[in-house]
Amino acid sequence: MWDILRITFPFFALVLCGYLATRRGLLPLAAIPGLNAFVLFFALPCMLYRFGARTPIGQLLDPVAGGVYLLCALPLVAGGVLGLRALRCNWNDAAFGALVAAMPNSGFMGVPLLVALLGAQAAGPVILTMLVDMVCTTSLCIALSRLDGAGAHGAAVALRQALRGMSANPMPWATALGALASALQWQLPGPLDKTVAMLAEAASPVALFAIGAVLARAQMQQHEHVRPVDYVPLALAKLFAHPLLVWLVGHAAQALGVPLAQQTLVALVLVAALPSASNVSLLAERFGAHTGRVAHVILVSTTLAFVSFSAAVAWLVG
């Protein structure tokens, strides 16, 4: 267990550093968008490109792994929506509550953390889950969020907006370019490759620090009271129900003879065991959903994940 904590602790410690720096005023709130922009448009795309270029194309386009992961995301979304609708939430709040329970922080945290734990072979499955979440899970939840008083037309418009937003996201494009470089066995020229490498190396620490800053900002700017029943079940579903579902479906697929490698399944389960994605709060704010609930789910799941994720690693990796 100590060997696992030696790897996981620095990742969560950097999140805590960003949180404390923001809460104590060392990092101005006005600087947080700049941090996020650096990670989203520069550092993280370079990291994804390098991992994509070094990963066999078959791992990046594995339909079995993608299918298993998507098959588990859909029940989580359905359960989250139905549960929140039962609490008298409108479609908008229910959809983003479901999204924060189903979407792990695989971009900012998952890729560097799982590669550190499992080795470079984990990059392919993790990047694949990111693409599934960005293209399928997020688009579905945004479409559901538009059902309030808008009917199917509103959902269709929202789905088109989600796809346009995804196309403007540099991360899928960086991954696609990396996959193309992998397929063609193509390498960047030396000076350009060094520049990309330097940006990629900055992605993990800055992204983790930014997660903590975003969590602190959300807590500082949240003025409405949020009941534990509104966010604790969603956080627990993210940390426990999601990885358990992936583990069960993955083993069922293997029992049926589906070609799903054990190391790929381990990577998928650990991705699902990650805390909720911090960028869901930005989406919720953009679409006018209940940001307080989303922020609390992200904060609670990130805090508890230090123990729960480390326990999942100890269980699966040993």
121-145 per-position pLDDT tens digit: 898 899 899 889 988 898 888 888 8
Q: What are φ and ψ of residue 225, in 5° steps?
A: -80, 135
104: β partners: 276
Whether the pLDDT of residue 79 is over 80: the answer is yes
Domains of the chain, earliest start first: 2-316 (1.20.1530.20)
Whether the pLDDT of residue 242 is over 90: the answer is yes
Instruction: Supply the pLDDT for residue 317.
Output: 86
pLDDT in tens, 100-124: 999 999 888 888 899 999 998 898 8
132: β partners: none
Please tell me the pTM assigned to this model: 0.86
Mean pLDDT, residues 166-187: 82
Average pLDDT, the chain: 88
| Closest residue by Cα to residue 283 from 69, 108, 157, 134 | 134
pLDDT in tens, 32-64: 989 988 988 899 899 989 988 888 877 778 999
Q: Which residue has the tokens 């650990």?
A: 270
Whether the pLDDT of residue 159 is over 70: the answer is no
Mean pLDDT, residues 278-297: 84
- 185 Cβ partners below 8 Å, 6+ apart? none
Residues 242 and 38: their CA atoms lie apart, in Å, by: 30
Burial of 63 (0-12, 13-18, 19+ CB in 10 A): exposed
Contact 105, 168 (CB under 8 A): no
Position 295 confidence tier, pLDDT thresholds 50, 70, 90 = confident
The identity of residue 18, as a single letter, is G
Contact 16, 144 (CB under 8 A): no
21, two tokens: 């720096």
